[in-house]
Chains A and B, each alone.
Chain A
Amino acid sequence: MDNLFLLILTPTIGAIFLLFVCQHTLAKKGALILSLITLGLTIPFICQFNASGDFNYEQSYPWIAALGVNFHIGIDGISFPLLVLTNVLVPLIVLTTFKKSFKGNFYALMFFMQSGLMLVFAAMDAFTFYVGWEAALIPIYFICALWGDGDRIRVNLKFFVYTFFGSLLMLVAILYLHQQVATHDFEWHSFVSLDLDASTQRWIFWAFFIAFAIKIPIFPFHTWQPNTYTHAPAAGTMLLAGIMLKMGVYGLLRWLLPVVPEAVASYGQLVMVLCVFAVVYASIIAIQQQDAKRLIAYSSIAHVGLISAGVFTWNLTGMSGAMMQMVNHGISVVGLFFVLDIIQDRTGSRDLRDLGGIAKQAPRLAIAFLIIVMGAIGLPLTNGFIGEFLLLKGIYEYGIWYAVFGGLTLILGAVYMLRLYQKTMLGTTSERTATFADISGVELYTLIIISGLIIYLGIFPNSLLHISSESLAVLTTFLGR
C-alpha cells in the first residue's frame, strides 16, 4: 500500500465521480469519505518513512520519450511533511464546509487540486513538477472565481495571469537547464549536478525566483494576494493560504537552492531584505485592517515572509524552522479562516467594527479561537513558538539586523492577532453578535482537531523536525559548491 502514484491519483479518480453529484448532502459525504481514504492511504507512508535524507518510495516511468520526460516521483524529508499536511488539511477543509451547500463540482475541483499539489510535492522531474504546478492552479482559480464574492472575476483573473506568467518564466528556465543536461532529461538529479557559470545562474535564479515569489507571495510580488484571499470562498482561502503557498516555498527548497547555489549566495542578501521588509510592512498593514479576512491575508504575507527568510538563511536551523512553520502556518491559517467563516455566517459581517462580545455568547468558539490565535502568535506550548524560535535563531545566525527586524513579527504579530481577538470576542456585544449561537457538532469537532494539532505540535515538535532534518542537512551541502 505504499504506491505513491496511486496515492496521487486517488483524489482525481474520486473527483471525476464527484463531478456528477448534484445533491449537497451526498456530495459532502462523498467528499469527506474520499478525503479520508486519501488520508488513510497516506498512513502507510508515515509509518514506513525512512528519514535518512534520501528519497523514499521512488517511482519512475518513461512519459514522453521524444522529449526525455520521465514521470519520476519520490518523497524525501522536505516534501513528506508537506504531502502529509496536504492530506491532513483537505479533510479538515471539507469539514469546514459542512454547514454550506456546495455541489459535487466544488469538491471535485478541490480534489483535482489536491492531486496537483501532491504531484508538485512528489515530483523529481522538472516537467512533472511543472505539470503539477499548473494542474493545481486551474481548480483553485475556478473555486475562487465561481464561489467567491465581490469583485471576484477581476481579482481572480489578475491572480491567474500573474501566477501563469511566473510559471512560464520557470518553464523557460527549466527548458534551458534541460538543454544543458548531457543526458537530455528533466531529472532533479541531473539539474542539481549541473555546473553552471555565474551569469547563467543569475538569470535562472530570477526566472525561478519570480515564479515562486509570486506564489508565496514575497514582497513586491504580493499584490494579487490580499484581494484574492478576501474575495475567495472560505474553503478556497484555506486551500490557497494553507497549502498552495507552500508550493512556492517548497519550490525554493527543492529547485532554486540546489540548482543555482551560487546565485542564491549572491542574491541571498537582497531576498532577505525583501522578506524581512515584507514581515514589517505586511504586519503594519494588518494592524490597520477592519476587514478580519483581509487582516489574516496580510498576516499571512508577514508569516511567509519570515518563512522565506528562513529558507534563504540556508542554515539548518533556519530551514528547519521554515519547514516547521510551513506546517504550523497551514494548520493555523485554516483554523483562523474557519473561525472567521463561522462568525461571518452567523453575523453577516466580518468587519471588526460590527463585532465584539462573542466570547460571552459562545465560550467554546472563544476558547478554540484563543488557542488558534496563540498558535499564530507563537506562544510557548503552541506549534508557532518552536517554528518562530527556530526561524529567528537561523536568521540571527545569518545576520543580526535581519533578526532584529524579523523579530518584530513577534511584537507586531501579537498586536494584530490580539486586536483581532479582542475586537471579535471581547468587549460589548453589538446587535449583530447579540444572538450568536455557540458552535456545536461538526464545527466543534473540526476546531477541536485543529486546536489539538496546534498543541500537539507545540509540545512534540520533534515528531516533525526529525523527518526533515536529514534532508535539510543534505540540502545545506549544496551551499558554496
Chain B
Amino acid sequence: MGAIITLSILALLVLYLGLFKANKSLLPVSLVGLLVVIGLLINDWKGLAIPLYNGMILFDHYAVAFSILCTVITLLVFILSKGYFTSSSDHVAEYYTLLLFSLTGAVLVNSFHNLALLFLGIEIMSVALYILVGIRKKDPASNEAAIKYFIMGAFSTGFLLFGITLLYGASGSFDLAMIKGYVTSHPNEVSPLFYGGILLMIIGLIFKVGAAPFHFWTADVYDGAPILITSFMSTVVKIASFAGLLRLFTFSLLPLQDFWIPIFLGIAIITLFIGNLSALMQSSFKRMLVYSSISHAGYMLFAIIGVGINSANAIFVYGASYSLATLTAFAGLILVKRAIGSDHFESFNGLAKKNPYLAAILTIAMLSLAGIPLTAGFIGKFMMFSAVMADYHILLLILAVLNAAVAVYYYLKVVVAMYFRGGEGKHIPINMNYVLLFIVTTVLTILIGVYPNCFMELI
C-alpha cells in the first residue's frame, strides 16, 4: 500500500523538480524512489493479506510479485533513459512523471480487489501513455500513434466500463469476493447480463494486452512511439494487464470457466497466427518486435486457458523472461538506430564483427524470445505449455508449436544479419548505463533459464 502512495508522491516530486529546472537530479531521484518502492513492496510480502480500504485493494503475494516485477522493469527502463529523453525534448521531467504515473496505474491493476479500482488503474496507466506516445510533437508518426491509441483506447475502456456495469447489474457489487459469491451461489441461474458483462470485459482487457482481434492499434502505436516508451508499453503495461485479467478470471469468475475458456482459446489461436505471420513479413526490427509481442500475448493467454494453481506463476515467469529479452532487444535497437539511423534488419548487418559482445547479448535475447532451452524464455514457454497440457488441449499445443517454429525464423533473421551478413559501418559506442542493463538482463535470462527454482513458486 505504501508503494502506491510513494509512487504518486514520487511522480509529483519529479514533476516539481522539472519545474525548478533540476534536470540533473531527475534520474537519481526517480531511481532512488523506485528502489524505495521495491523495498516497500517486499515489506508487504506477508503470509495472509486482507483487502484494504473497504475491499478496494488486496496486496497478496500475487499483487506484490507482479508489482515488484513491473517496478523492476520500469527501473531498467529508467536506467536506459539516461541521455535518451534529453536528445528529443527539453521537458524531460514529464517523461519521468508520466512513466511513474503509468506505473502507479499498473500497480493498481495488479492489486485491485474492486472492479472500480480496476477501471481506475487501467485509466491511470493508459492516460499517461496516451501522452507519452505522442510526446514527440513534431513527429507525424508519433502524433498518429497517439491519436490512434487514444481513440481506440477510449473505446476499449468504454467496453470495459460497460462490462463492469453489467456485472454490477447482475451481481449487485463491484467487489471481487462478492461477485465470486454471486457466481457460486447461483450455479445454474447466472443472469444473461452477467455473461454479456464478461464478454465486454474480455474485449476491453484483450485490447489492453494487445491480443487479436483487438491488436490493430499495437503495430502503429508501438512503431510510432519513441523506442523507450514502446519498450515500457510492451513490457510493464502488458504484464500488468495480464495480471489484472488473470486476477479477475481466476479470482471471481472461475466457476464460469466453461463459458470463457473457449473464448480465450479462440483468441489465443488467432493471436498466435496473426502475430507470428505478420512478424514474418516485417523488414523493420522494431515492427518485428511489435508483432512478436502480439504473439507472446497469445502464449501468455495459455495460462488463462489452462487455468489452475500454477497459472499465476506461469504468467509471472513468462512475463519476466519476455520482458527481460524484449528490453534487451529494444536497448540494442536504440544503440543501432542511433548509430546507423534505421531500424531495419539491414542495419544490424555485420554487427558481430564490430561489437561482438552486443551481438552475443542480442542473440541470447532472441534465443530467449524464441524459447530455446537454457534461456528464461524456454522456462516460460515450458510452463505455459504444461499449463494447457494439464487440460489436454493438444491441438492448441500443436498449433503453438507450429507458431514457435515460425517465430524462430524471424528471430534468427536478426542473428543472421548480425553474424552472417557483412556490413560496413563503425563500432557502436555503448554507454555505461546500457552495459549495466545488458549485464542485468542477460544474467537474469540465463539464471532463470538454468536454475529457475527461486522464481517458479513465488506466488
Q: How far is the CA of A209 from the CA of B451 in the complex (A)?
A: 30
Q: How far is the CA of A142 from the CA of B372 in the complex (A)?
A: 14
B456 touches A66 (CB 8 A): yes
A142 touches B419 (CB 8 A): yes
Q: How far is the CA of A342 from the CA of B379 in the complex (A)?
A: 44
B405 touches A145 (CB 8 A): no
Tell me the interface secondary structure of chain A in the complex. Answer: helix
Cross-interface CB contact of A168 among B392, B404, B419, B452, cutoff 8 Å: B404
Query: For chain B, which range describes its interface: under 10, 10 to 19, 20 to 34, or 35 or more residues?
Result: 35 or more
Asked whether A171 is an interface residue with its Cβ less than 8 Å from the other chain, the reply is: yes
- The segment out of A36-44, A172-180, A377-385 that lies at the interface is A172-180
Given the known A-B contacts A67-B382, A67-B456, are A172 and B401 also in contact in the complex, defined by CB atoms under 8 Å? yes
Asked whether B408 is an interface residue with its Cβ less than 8 Å from the other chain, the reply is: yes
A161 touches B405 (CB 8 A): yes
Interface string of A436-470 (1 = CB under 8 A from B): 00000000000000000000000000000000000
A178 touches B401 (CB 8 A): no
Q: How far is the CA of A157 from the CA of B404 in the complex (A)?
A: 14
Asked whether B165 is an interface residue with its Cβ less than 8 Å from the other chain, the reply is: no
A135 touches B420 (CB 8 A): no
Interface residues of B in 366-401 (CB under 8 A from A): 367, 372-374, 378-379, 382-383, 385-386, 389-390, 392, 394, 397-398, 401
| Chain A nearest Cβ from B407, distance in angstroms | 10
A134 touches B372 (CB 8 A): yes
Interface string of B208-221 (1 = CB under 8 A from A): 00000000000000
B394 touches A134 (CB 8 A): no
| Chain A nearest Cβ from B443, distance in angstroms | 15
Chain B neighbourhood of A152, CB < 8 A: 420
Given the known A-B contacts A146-B419, A152-B420, are A165 and B405 also in contact in the complex, defined by CB atoms under 8 Å? yes
Cross-interface CB contact of B397 among A134, A146, A172, cutoff 8 Å: A172
Chain B neighbourhood of A130, CB < 8 A: 373
Asked whether B440 is an interface residue with its Cβ less than 8 Å from the other chain, the reply is: no
Q: Which residue of A lies closest to B352 (CB)?
A: A146
Chain B neighbourhood of A13, CB < 8 A: none
A66 touches B313 (CB 8 A): yes
Interface residues of B in 435-459 (CB under 8 A from A): 451-453, 456-457
A168 touches B405 (CB 8 A): yes
Chain A neighbourhood of B390, CB < 8 A: 179
B373 touches A172 (CB 8 A): no
Q: Which residue of A lies closest to B457 (CB)?
A: A66
A172 touches B456 (CB 8 A): no
Cross-interface CB contact of A145 among B394, B406, B420, cutoff 8 Å: B420
Chain B neighbourhood of A178, CB < 8 A: 386, 389
B373 touches A145 (CB 8 A): no
Chain A neighbourhood of B451, CB < 8 A: 63-64
Asked whether B52 is an interface residue with its Cβ less than 8 Å from the other chain, the reply is: no
B408 touches A164 (CB 8 A): yes
Interface string of A125-164 (1 = CB under 8 A from B): 0000011001100100010011000001100010011001
Interface residues of A in 152-203 (CB under 8 A from B): 152-153, 157, 160-161, 164-165, 168-169, 171-172, 175-176, 178-179, 203
Q: Which residue of A lies closest to B401 (CB)?
A: A168
Asked whether B421 is an interface residue with its Cβ less than 8 Å from the other chain, the reply is: yes
Interface string of A359-374 (1 = CB under 8 A from B): 0000000000000000
Given the known A-B contacts A66-B456, A168-B405, A176-B394, are A138 and B372 also in contact in the complex, defined by CB atoms under 8 Å? yes
Q: How far is the CA of A24 from the CA of B389 in the complex (A)?
A: 49
Q: How far is the CA of A171 from the CA of B389 in the complex (A)?
A: 11
Q: How far is the CA of A67 from the CA of B455 in the complex (A)?
A: 12
Q: Which residue of B lies closest to A65 (CB)?
A: B453
Name which of B310, B379, B406, B408 has the most chain A CB atoms within 10 A of its CB: B408
Q: How far is the CA of A135 from the CA of B421 in the complex (A)?
A: 24
Chain B neighbourhood of A138, CB < 8 A: 367, 372
Cross-interface CB contact of B373 among A131, A175, A203, cutoff 8 Å: A131
B385 touches A171 (CB 8 A): yes
Asked whether B19 is an interface residue with its Cβ less than 8 Å from the other chain, the reply is: no
Given the known A-B contacts A66-B313, A175-B389, are A153 and B416 also in contact in the complex, defined by CB atoms under 8 Å? yes
Chain A neighbourhood of B452, CB < 8 A: 64
B456 touches A64 (CB 8 A): yes
Q: How far is the CA of A179 from the CA of B310 in the complex (A)?
A: 14
Asked whether B32 is an interface residue with its Cβ less than 8 Å from the other chain, the reply is: no
Q: Which residue of B lies closest to A138 (CB)?
A: B372
B385 touches A175 (CB 8 A): yes
Q: Which residue of B lies closest to A133 (CB)?
A: B373
Cross-interface CB contact of B389 among A66, A146, A168, A176, cutoff 8 Å: A176
Chain B neighbourhood of A135, CB < 8 A: 373-374
Asked whether B409 is an interface residue with its Cβ less than 8 Å from the other chain, the reply is: yes
Chain A neighbourhood of B178, CB < 8 A: none
Given the known A-B contacts A66-B457, A67-B383, A172-B398, are A146 and B420 also in contact in the complex, defined by CB atoms under 8 Å? yes
Q: How far is the CA of A472 from the CA of B310 in the complex (A)?
A: 40
Asked whether B9 is an interface residue with its Cβ less than 8 Å from the other chain, the reply is: no
Q: Which residue of A lies closest to B386 (CB)?
A: A175
Q: Which residue of A lies closest to B403 (CB)?
A: A168
Name which of A66, A172, A178 has the most chain B CB atoms within 10 A of its CB: A66
Q: How far is the CA of A178 from the CA of B385 in the complex (A)?
A: 12
Q: How far is the CA of A164 from the CA of B411 in the complex (A)?
A: 13
Asked whether B402 is an interface residue with its Cβ less than 8 Å from the other chain, the reply is: yes
Q: How far is the CA of A161 from the CA of B398 in the complex (A)?
A: 15
Q: How far is the CA of A287 from the CA of B211 in the complex (A)?
A: 53
| Chain A nearest Cβ from B176, distance in angstroms | 26
Q: How far is the CA of A165 from the CA of B367 in the complex (A)?
A: 15
Asked whether B412 is an interface residue with its Cβ less than 8 Å from the other chain, the reply is: yes
Name which of A138, A164, A179 has the most chain B CB atoms within 10 A of its CB: A164
B401 touches A169 (CB 8 A): yes
| Chain A nearest Cβ from B301, distance in angstroms | 18
Q: How far is the CA of A179 from the CA of B379 in the complex (A)?
A: 17
Chain B neighbourhood of A131, CB < 8 A: 373-374
Q: How far is the CA of A134 from the CA of B375 in the complex (A)?
A: 11
Interface string of A51-74 (1 = CB under 8 A from B): 000000000000111110000000
Chain A neighbourhood of B373, CB < 8 A: 130-131, 134-135
Name which of B313, B401, B416, B451 has the most chain A CB atoms within 10 A of its CB: B401
Q: Which residue of A lies closest to B367 (CB)?
A: A138
Chain B neighbourhood of A165, CB < 8 A: 401-402, 405
A67 touches B398 (CB 8 A): no
Interface residues of A in 378-416 (CB under 8 A from B): none
Chain A neighbourhood of B408, CB < 8 A: 160-161, 164
Cross-interface CB contact of B394 among A67, A153, A172, cutoff 8 Å: A172
| Chain B nearest Cβ from A49, distance in angstroms | 29
A67 touches B386 (CB 8 A): yes
Chain B neighbourhood of A65, CB < 8 A: 453, 456-457
Given the known A-B contacts A64-B452, A171-B385, A175-B389, are A153 and B420 also in contact in the complex, defined by CB atoms under 8 Å? yes
A145 touches B416 (CB 8 A): yes
**Interface of A with B (CB < 8 Å)?**
63-67, 130-131, 134-135, 138, 142, 145-146, 152-153, 157, 160-161, 164-165, 168-169, 171-172, 175-176, 178-179, 203
With A67-B382, A157-B416 already in contact, 19 other A-B pairs whose C-beta atoms are closer than 8 Å? A64-B456, A67-B386, A131-B373, A134-B373, A142-B419, A145-B419, A152-B420, A153-B420, A160-B408, A160-B412, A161-B405, A164-B405, A165-B401, A168-B401, A171-B401, A175-B385, A178-B386, A179-B389, A179-B392
**Interface of B with A (CB < 8 Å)?**
310, 313, 367, 372-374, 378-379, 382-383, 385-386, 389-390, 392, 394, 397-398, 401-402, 404-406, 408-409, 412, 416, 419-421, 451-453, 456-457
Q: Could you show 9 A-B contacts with beta carbons less than 8 Å apart?
A: A135-B373, A138-B367, A142-B419, A160-B412, A165-B401, A169-B398, A171-B382, A172-B397, A179-B390
